[in-house]
Amino acid sequence: MQDRCQSCPRALYLTDGPQPAERFPSIIAACPIRAGCRQGGSMDGTFAVIGAGRQGTAAAYDLAHFGGGRPVVLADAMEGQARLAAERVNHLLGRPAATAAVLDAADAAGVQRWLQANQVRAFVSAVPYFFNLGLTRAAIACGCGMTDLGGNSDVVCAQLDLNGEAAAAGACIVPDCGQVPGMGTSLILFAMEQLEEPRQVYMWDCGLPADPPPPWNYRLAFSIEGLTNEFFGDCLYIRDGRTARVPALEELEVVEFPAPIGPLEAFTTAGGLTTAALTFAGQLDVLQNKTLRYPGSYAQLKVIQQLGLLSPEPIEVAGVRLAPRTLLHALWEPQIRAAPGERDLIIIRILVRGLRHGRPAEARVDLIHYADEATGFSAMEQGTGWHAAILTHAIAEGKVPPGVIPVEKAIGGKDFVAEAARRGFVVSLDSRQP
């Protein structure tokens, strides 16, 4: 299904330095008007976050902090969760910026009515990926801007297929935001901007506990559904210039990082490159990402895979039909769920090889970011929620054209790095030419 998916043909704007169109001829084209969503660029309307969990709360904080006074509504199926999240945002900001609401993300028609009633200009979907297609249709129906935390290639491709409807409705939809996909894609773009002819792009990324607890040496800071989805099915990469499917949990390697992190295992995982693998096919020879974990994790995950515990297809055991993945979630999540206040870190490393001035060159981008003690947001919450918020701000300000727009076409790499710096992210760049 991914191979037929067509992303938006509008131009990608890269803002600083020499940006010759021949570098990315299929996406950098003349665009006479950089049209925003039909809401325009004024400060009217409300921000919303659907899903008041950890990532959603972080996104709401960013929207309120950098939103120029625009109100933020945190909506969740659980009233208490939404209220606590709104209270936390208000406490951190020292002012009443966020309110709570009850909303069922599974009721797309109800979401549409709610968006219209609250005059929502743009919202973040911070619920699991399987709600995102219905929320996309609701956003299109009311011409509203939307970002989501993505992670599932099939869902993202179905969203991209709605590009024409979204453009006609004046709705700006940017799927697959978050840490990876999302911030990783933006940093890929930043690294590619350093070379005139990028040809090979490699990404390694993770969210890990700063002090890994045995036996799993891992802590979960987002939905368990999103985690196991990464380990099942195929990854969308670019190999030999073409979009290719590569099985998840393969191609193990070891990558070195400075102390105190040290060596980490890296292996293929699904959902991290969906739109980029489609956008840059035919322009890059290689595009791939691998997830990083502490040593020993790969063997554990392969055992889980070989036992069939990642399968979503129900089986019958002792007269009861149950999906093995559902059982895995019930048993595994309580053991790996991160407790509030646990220190974590995120890593994104990008290596790009290609040509500069006709000679071989490479650029390496590194981001290593830890939990923020001032706000209490974990590194994963910041990387995930704040990236989605940055794109939501861009939509609300009329900087993104109508349609379903991939991250790599919604904001330039240098523009993203500048916004990330405002939020305390330090992105290092090492560009060299033999």
Read off the CATH number of the domain in which 100 is found.
Answer: 3.40.50.720
Average pLDDT over residues 405-411: 96
How confident is the model over 164-187, as pLDDT tens digits?
999 999 999 999 999 998 999 999
One-letter amino acid identity for 223? S
Q: Give me the DSSP letters along 295-318.
A: TTHHHHHHHHHHTTTT--S-EEET
Measured CA to CA in angstroms, residue 157 lies from 3, 74, 161, 374 at distances of 9, 27, 6, 38
How confident is the model over 110-156, as pLDDT tens digits?
999 999 999 999 999 999 999 999 999 999 999 999 999 987 888 99
Angle subtended at Cα 138 by Cα 136 and Cα 144, rounded to the nearest 5 degrees = 80
Measured CA to CA in angstroms, residue 228 lies from 107, 128, 157, 312, 395 at distances of 25, 12, 19, 10, 30
Paired residues of 254 in beta bridges: 265
Say yes or no: 104 and 117 in one domain. Answer: yes
How confident is the model over 232-290, as pLDDT tens digits?
989 999 999 999 999 999 999 999 999 999 999 999 999 888 789 999 999 999 999 99
369 and 42 Cβ atoms separated by less than 8 Å: no
How confident is the model over 54-110, as pLDDT tens digits?
999 999 999 999 998 999 999 999 999 999 999 999 999 999 999 999 999 999 999
For residue 305, the domain's CATH number is: 3.30.360.10
pLDDT at 237: 96
Euclidean distance between CA atoms 192 and 83, whole angstroms: 42
Mean pLDDT of the chain: 90
How confident is the model over 334-347, as pLDDT tens digits?
999 998 888 999 99
* % of the chain beyond a pLDDT of 70: 90
Average pLDDT over residues 153-160: 92
pLDDT at 23: 36
pLDDT at 289: 97
Lowest mean pLDDT among 14-18, 96-100, 304-308: 14-18
Say yes or no: 152 and 254 in one domain. Answer: no
Q: Which domain holds residue 116?
A: 2-177+384-411
> Confidence class of residue 1 from pLDDT cuts 50, 70 and 90?
very low
Say yes or no: 314 and 354 in one domain. Answer: yes
Say yes or no: 172 and 196 in one domain. Answer: no
Residue 22: HSE in the Cβ half-sphere, 13 Å Cα cutoff: 2
Q: What is the pTM of this model?
A: 0.87
Average pLDDT over residues 362-389: 96
Say yes or no: 142 and 239 in one domain. Answer: no
Number of domains in the chain: 2
Say yes or no: 167 and 77 in one domain. Answer: yes
Angle subtended at Cα 380 by Cα 377 and Cα 384, rounded to the nearest 5 degrees = 100
Average pLDDT over residues 301-306: 98
Asked whether the predicted pLDDT for residue 301 surpasses 70, the reply is: yes
SS3 at position 381: helix
Question: Quick one: which of 185, 180, 140 has its CA closest to 407?
Answer: 185
Say yes or no: 187 and 164 in one domain. Answer: no
Say yes or no: 293 and 324 in one domain. Answer: yes
* % of the chain beyond a pLDDT of 90: 82
Say yes or no: 185 and 95 in one domain. Answer: no
Say yes or no: 112 and 202 in one domain. Answer: no
Say yes or no: 256 and 366 in one domain. Answer: yes
Question: Quick one: which of 388, 14, 3 has its CA closest to 176?
Answer: 388
Say yes or no: 376 and 271 in one domain. Answer: yes
Q: How far is CA 17 from the centre of its chain?
A: 26
